[in-house]
Chains A and B, each alone.
Chain A
């Protein structure tokens, strides 16, 4: 898999990335020192890594591996500015390497003059969330499109109990929204969201679906890793799409229809021996793929 490709932003737009989410199941807190390391990297020269909320556990695992810092300490020393800001930060030399979901279109255009090297690291999926009390378990892509286009407005139209569908959307800068537009809506325009149905934070969306009215009226979306691995809210369930439930296997096999890569990204002009490029190259290696899997993500094919 050494498909190291140098893509311009134009290609990036075609690529279509994903939304931002956070991850992480609270990690092993036992401070076992890491011994393997990554040749050429240490805490002193470690590059500035930014990314999406959902890639935060992977970023922590990477820092731990490269610097020999125990995992718990690594978690306390990493942070992300989230998808849009992270892309912009790389463009503006505010950071050196991204582990990130797809850039929203607006950001992609903004940074289109910059050449990046982009390496798919893992697979994630756009998933749809409903209250666990909602009898609907599956929707087709067409039904979801119609709901978000405002053409289906009542749960009874898709096999649920009669009642208006309260469809949450994310803010335009979020990585989840970028995935939503790219993977589901494609060339269809989503309806204007009702005021108040655009949570800024991914977690707020999950909470909102769980608590909105307590009767299963709401519908939202996120990325699989965040919703399932990081939040796993007891009052929320993930819908099957076109009859396929999202899980690690269906995502890895690309049976679930709404999947997309997340990426490692550096500026194309990074020197061959720069810490960012060393880390980037390591992420492309089998060891790097192994780390992605260790952290609970589905490695890219």
Chain B
């Protein structure tokens, strides 16, 4: 995983605005203002190279993508650019009037699949084309199935309405099926969640457990759990009720019970929970060791040794400090802080924003490097080694990208927002390997799309439909366009003609 490769590389010389300067200042007190000493002038050919470990990859099973190009119609196209016939429909009420049944519908199915590293990932939701009776005409999945018994199960859930544009936003009706026979094994299952023990929780629409798939493939139906499943990590699962939360181990034993909690971080096998008690918080460590934080505080980061803590009442006004868990302050006076890296590791450094400057500090609070960015207000981790920052210039707020070497990858001023395209899968956010950068132009909002090498692969996109690992479906100008992740157009339709009009 782990985001950006070290020594991250530079954006184009053109990307580097005069305000974006790096300094290789010697370690210093965090409060000291560094002098600006260096302006990057790396050649344009050097582009950032990102690890794609955290992104959806070739195992993405969806073979068909859809794009809603007006209020009534979708373009449905397979990844090879072939339009699927018969799916451009007129208003469904017309079918009702005429008595004609809708020829096609989309159903969603949740299927298990396997990551390239052999780890199991279950409950990947995908779409399939079905006839009006719900029979699958084209299974969009092309996944490899692991031999484990529980992977013989499939959750299939169908929308109650026979109308494919109503797929989204309606609670699904699901069931766990035997994949081979199609037999319903357990009703009301809408999602699966794999625990670190290898067992798989069967959850209903309210995220209450109604069954447990053992790692040998056997199914144990259970009474509906009074608690709602929240999330799980290595050896633990978190459950919630209206009155509080419980932390369970893999065997269901209660490790901790308390008020409202949220997971702050789960790096290095540690579990960090913040419990709000009015305006105070507690840190729960590991989770057997508890540390009471006496003053009102807002935790940004914590590990076994230190934390980044914001003043609860002053969080956006230089209230953040880097502090030992024993209370000793290592740095203070920052308006925004991002820890790096996060995933599975203790943070090695922190990117911390103060007036017109982002500082990189080590764990001891020593200043490693500084970068002047006029008007910088916040910094936020996107991936390990990759950060988004916001700049306010008058009434305009724009965003840019910076790496953990404080090299500006995309300067502020161009884009109002920058984000990864994301999707929820099994209650976890997954990133598509694209940056979606929105801008305001000619009284409208358009997006430029970059790949992970920060190569612009699509410009002035008005609307983004489904994305795949190597496919983007979008509206550009008067066309719907299917392209690959290098920006090559594979297929297109005129928005004013039917999909055969290419």
Residues of A in contact with B (beta carbons under 8 Å apart):
22-27, 43, 46, 48, 56-57, 60, 63, 72-73, 75-79, 95, 166, 194-197, 199-201, 203-204, 207-208, 211-213, 226, 230-234
Contacts and interface: CB of A to CB of B under 8 A. Distances in A.
Given A75-B477, A196-B97, A211-B90, 9 more contacts: A22-B496, A24-B478, A24-B496, A26-B494, A76-B461, A197-B94, A201-B71, A204-B70, A213-B100
User: Which 9 A-B pairs rank lowest in CB-CB distance, beginning with the nearest?
Assistant: A75-B477, A76-B460, A196-B93, A230-B496, A196-B97, A76-B477, A48-B443, A77-B442, A208-B90
Contact of A195 (B72, B73, B97, B500): B97
**Which of A57, A72, A194, A196 is packed against the most chain B CB atoms within 10 Å?**
A196
Central interface residue in A75, A78, A79, A211, by most chain B CB within 10 Å = A211
A46 B98 CA distance: 48
A231 B459 contact: no
5 contacts: A23-B496, A199-B94, A200-B71, A208-B91, A211-B90
Q: How many B residues are at the interface, by size bracket?
A: 20 to 34
Contacts of A95: 443
A201 B71 CA distance: 8
B497 A200 contact: no
Contacts of A231: 496-498
Contacts of A212: 90, 94, 98
Interface in B435-449: 441-444, 446
B88 interface: yes
A257 B90 CA distance: 30
B478 A26 contact: yes
A200 B496 contact: no
Contacts of B93: 195-196
Contacts of B311: none
B90 A207 contact: yes
Nearest to A67: B442
B459 A76 contact: yes
A203 B94 contact: no
A262 to B, nearest CB: 17
B406 to A, nearest CB: 33
Contacts of A211: 90
B82 to A, nearest CB: 19
Contacts of B73: 201, 203-204, 207
Nearest to B495: A22
A75 B442 CA distance: 11
B396 interface: no
Given A196-B93, A196-B97, A208-B94, A76 B497 contact: no
B462 interface: yes
Interface in B402-443: 441-443
A117 to B, nearest CB: 21
B477 A199 contact: no
Contacts of B214: none
Interface SS, A side: loop
B446 A77 contact: yes
Interface string B88-127: 1011011011101000000000000000000000000000
A199 B89 CA distance: 12
A197 B97 contact: yes
A233 B442 contact: no
Contacts of A232: 497, 501
Interface in B442-501: 442-444, 446, 459-462, 476-479, 494-498, 500-501
B72 A56 contact: no
B478 A200 contact: no
A25 B501 CA distance: 10
Contact of A203 (B459, B476, B496): B496
A226 to B, nearest CB: 7
Contacts of A203: 70, 72-73, 496
A202 to B, nearest CB: 9
B72 A76 contact: no
A204 B90 contact: yes
A226 B461 CA distance: 23
Contacts of A208: 90-91, 94
Contact of B478 (A56, A204, A213): A56
Interface string B150-186: 0000000000000000000000000000000000000
A212 B97 CA distance: 10
Contacts of A48: 443
Given A73-B460, A76-B477, A196-B91, A226 B446 contact: no
Contact of A204 (B72, B97, B441, B476): B72
B479 A26 contact: yes
Contacts of A72: 477
A251 to B, nearest CB: 19
B462 A79 contact: yes
A22 B495 CA distance: 9
A207 B443 CA distance: 31
Given A76-B476, A79-B444, A213 B98 contact: yes
Contacts of A199: 72, 90-91, 94
